[in-house]
A = this chain, B = another copy of it.
Amino acid sequence: MHKLDKIDLKILKILQLEGRITKAALAERVGLSPSPCWDRLKKLEKAGLIGGYHANINLKKLASNVTVFVSAELADHTAASFRAFENAVQKYDEIIACWALGGGFDYLLQIVTVDINAYQKLIDEMLDARIGLSRYYTYIVTKPVKANQTLPLELLLGK
């Protein structure tokens, strides 16, 4: 973990929201001249605190699509079967996120496909591929209510 002062934190906060801001503008926003701001940013990037920069695609305007969450349970709870499932998950582009869970279910998957048929086809394919998937529940997203691009950095850092 890295020591962050208020200005570093502000840099991160701004970049979360405006990933393509110019370094000159960023410097102004945090109250520094370009050089020291640039030094800080480079340090933050080198420390691995910034994972990367990404454009957010507005899928709604681009193509018909459906987002589905799937809570999944594996047949076997061996280390090998967890590994096999996790490897398999990487291979499907439609699975845009996956989390291992403590408690009732083993995994939560977030899947994006063109429609429900494509989703069902994907699930059938996964079942056929014998990646260890046993019980699962499907939750279809009817509306995105909130999609923050920003983590609550102050809350987490206690400032």
- Chain A residues with CB under 8 Å of chain B are 1-2, 4, 12, 15-20, 47-59, 61-65, 67, 69, 71, 86, 89-90, 93-105, 107-108, 112-114, 137-153, 155-158
Task: State which of B63, B93, B107, B157 has its C-beta within 8 Å of the C-beta of A145.
Answer: B107
Q: Is there contact, CB below 8 Å, between A58 and B53? A: no
Q: Is there contact, CB below 8 Å, between B57 and A50? A: yes
> Closest residue of chain B to A53, judged by CB?
B19
Q: Would you give 8 A-B contacts (Cβ < 8 Å), ordered by A?
A: A20-B53, A48-B58, A50-B57, A53-B53, A62-B156, A86-B145, A101-B142, A112-B151
Task: State which of B20, B90, B113, B139 has its C-beta within 8 Å of the C-beta of A155.
Answer: B113
A67 to chain B: which residues have CB within 8 Å? 99
Task: State which of B15, B20, B99, B153 has its C-beta within 8 Å of the C-beta of A143.
Answer: B99
Task: State which of B4, B56, B143, B158 has its C-beta within 8 Å of the C-beta of A54.
Answer: B56
Alpha-carbon separation in the docked complex, A64 to B144 (Å): 27
3 smallest beta-carbon distances between A and B, as pairs: A19-B53, A15-B55, A51-B56
Alpha-carbon separation in the docked complex, A21 to B37 (Å): 20
A155 to chain B: which residues have CB within 8 Å? 93-94, 113-114
Output the residue of A18, A90, A96 with the most chain B CB within 10 A. A96
Say how far A57's CB is from chain B's closest CB, in angstroms: 6
A53 to chain B: which residues have CB within 8 Å? 18-20, 53-56
